[in-house]
Amino acid sequence: MKLRFCGYSFHNQKYHTYHMSSELCYLFRLQTEGTAIVKINKKNHPVKKGDLLMIKPNERYELYVNEEQTSGDLHLYCEGNWIHDHFKHMPPLISISMDDLILQLWHHLIIEERRPYIERNHSLTDHLLSALCISLEREMNRTDNVSKHPFIVMKMMRFVEENATKQNFQVQELADSCDLSISRCVHLFKEHTGMTIIEYAQSIRLSSAINQMKYTTNTLESIALNCGFSSYSYFHRLFTRKYQLSPRNYRSQL
């Protein structure tokens, strides 16, 4: 992935601009304040806080801010095969939650790009851009899945994602957070996701373990505990069953 530019804009008076994405380049624009009008391929769309605009290669968009409007946005322009593969089928405009992680990553990326060129850490920029794009994709997919799952099921999935790596995670905590009985909670989750709550929690833990195996030097035993597994032997058994490799062999191949 390669970052072309990244920044923040705020407009409190009449404003108009247009942009045409070049080959393989994607423009992402997140409305953070106020409202505006965007024209995508000759069609006008009102945008409000939380609306994420994505302009694909060779697409044109225009931004209009009227006299009575104020508008703030975060934007970035980037390219790469990974971005193209993951975003080419996404809709041009989607409303996402204003996730703190996304905002923090975007702001850190802006700060890094504002440094004098000789002081920039390009490896850090690459990692920040990758993390931001993955977070945006996750949020877009989560939003797109709202129509597939009832709100209460989406709430349960998010609770599991945020708490699965904690030691002694209990289904009772999830049920309490949703004001449901355990049996009702278990039934709804299985009915709409096709997996049990524990199976979903285990998938979150295993994904977290793989990230720690890639990006830290922690021992496998400490990684197992960090990711919510009660013991290394339990982690080893689940990991080997899913990936057909022991954690140690998997890590040696990274």
Whether residue 144 has pLDDT greater than 60 = no
Query: For the whole model, what pTM was predicted?
Result: 0.57
pLDDT at 148: 59
Q: Say how many residues make up the chain.
A: 254
d(C-alpha 48, C-alpha 44), whole Å: 13
Average pLDDT taken over every residue of the chain: 87
pLDDT at 143: 59
> Quick one: how many helices (H) and strands (E) in the chain?
10, 9
d(C-alpha 211, C-alpha 218), whole Å: 11
Question: What residue spans define the domains of the chain?
Answer: 2-145, 151-252
Q: Which homologous superfamily does the CATH classification assign to the domain defined by 151-252? A: Homeodomain-like (1.10.10.60)
Instruction: For residue 197, name the pLDDT band (cuts at 50, 70, 90).
Output: very high
Please write the tens of the pLDDT for every residue from 53-91.
Answer: 998 888 888 999 998 888 999 999 998 888 888 888 888
Give the highest mean pLDDT range of 120-124, 137-141, 170-174: 170-174
| Cα Rg, the chain, nearest whole Å | 21
d(C-alpha 161, C-alpha 171), whole Å: 13
Please write the tens of the pLDDT for every residue from 209-238.
Answer: 988 888 788 999 999 999 999 999 999 999
Q: Which homologous superfamily does the CATH classification assign to the domain defined by 2-145? A: Regulatory protein AraC (2.60.120.280)
What letter represents residue 211's amino acid?
Answer: N
By the 10 Å C-beta count (0-12 exposed, 13-18 middle, 19+ buried), 44 is classed as exposed
Same CATH fold assignment for domains 2-145 and 151-252: no
Tokens at residue 29, please? 């624009």
